[in-house]
Structure formats: structure tokens, C-alpha cells
Amino acid sequence: MPITDYVPNIEEIIEKWNKNPMYKPRIGKVVVNISVGAATERLSKAMKVLEELTGQKPVPRRARRTIKNFGIRKGENIAAKVTLRKEKAIEFLKKALDAVNYRIKASSFDDRGNVSFGIKEHIMIPGVKYDPEIGIFGMDVAISLVRPGFRIKSRRRGRRKHIPRRHYVSREEAMVYLHKEFGVEIV
């Protein structure tokens, strides 16, 4: 389906961005997560894969609660994640979108400018070869789109300020931005 089925007022949105550049969204961060489910050797391999793909050192994530059926205990390392910003985020995002053929479901967008999609196997990313010692991992990619000036909500110095609802990136604007900047097809 073309993007006009999801966003009928695409010209109005682009015109608003051209009139005022402070309205045009940008990529705030891209978070890449691999969940393994247990603190085993497989977790260290997943961290190695993330480091090779992104060029940054991943951070282990702990379980929030105990789930007996899955054998997970509270506080145990069960996943690894990397947060990418600026040029590294854009560079990785191009590779990740290529792995999913530049197609994202419309249900993957939320009302605050966030987009999430999954990659079933990390070897689908261009330039990655299969290594039998490491294995194959799936991953989640979460994109956060923000407008300029959004930083005042979470800054450490000075007083934090409230962001009005109109300053958040809407679902339609996120779709238009990814379509225009990366050529993403919304399905």
C-alpha cells in the first residue's frame, strides 16, 4: 500500500517542515537489543555480535522479575543492548532497514514518534557472514524520533521543562520522515 493510504495529508506535513525547520523531526537514538533469556555463553556471543555490528560496547540487561516457567531469576543478565546516536545511528539504520527490505508495518509506529521492528537473523544484515562458532541471533531495533529542542525534557543541568503535546512527533509524521529520508515502504 502506498504511504498516502496511511497519511493523506503528506504535502501539508512536508510544507510545515519547510516553513519552520524546528518542526522537522530527526533521529534521537536507535536502540538495538538482543534477548537471550539466560546468563550463559550465548549471551557473551550475542554481545560480541552487537559489538561487531555497531562498533560500540553493548550493555547487559537484567531481568526485572522471576519467571519460573522460563527459568529466569530476578537480577540475572538475560539480554544485551546498544544505544546509537547521530551518524552511527543513521549508518546502522540503513543496514538494518536493508535487512527488512525497507518495509515496516504501520502497527510498528506509536503516537510519540517511536518505531520498532525486528530482524529475524543477524546474518540478513548486509556485510555480515555466518560464523558457526557464534550462531544466529535475532534482534529488535527501536527508533526514537524527536524534534529540535526536545532535550530540555531530560537535561541534567538547569531545570527540566515540560514538553507540550504538539512538540511530540506524531505517528503520521514519523511515517513521512522515514519514507522521505530512507525510502521506507509502510505496509
Residue 143 is given by DSSP the state: E
Cell 540478513: give the residue.
Answer: 124
Q: How many CB atoms lie within 10 A of CB 155?
A: 10
* Distances from the Cα of 11 to the Cα of 5, 37, 93, 178, angstroms: 13, 45, 25, 15
Distance of CA 184 to the CA centre of its chain: 14
Given the DSSP bridges, would you call strands 26-35 and 77-84 parallel, antiparallel or unpaired?
A: antiparallel
Please report the pLDDT score of residue 1 as a whole number.
Answer: 65
Please report the pLDDT score of residue 41 as a whole number.
Answer: 84
pLDDT tens-digit series, residues 79-130: 899 999 999 999 999 999 999 999 999 999 999 889 999 999 888 888 888 8
User: Using DSSP, how many helices (H) and how many strands (E) does the chain show?
Assistant: 4, 7
Q: What's the whole-number average pLDDT of the chain?
A: 87
If one looks up domain 3-32+82-186 in CATH, what number appears? 3.30.1440.10
Q: Over 80: is that where the pLDDT of 47 sits?
A: yes
Q: Under DSSP, is residue 103 helix (H, G, I), strand (E, B) or coil?
A: strand
Considering the entire predicted model, what is its pTM? 0.87
Would you list the domain boundaries of the chain? 3-32+82-186
DSSP-assigned letters across all residues of 27-91: EEEEEEEEE-SSSSHHHHHHHHHHHHHHSS--EEEE-SS-BGGGTB-TT-EEEEEEEE-HHHHHH
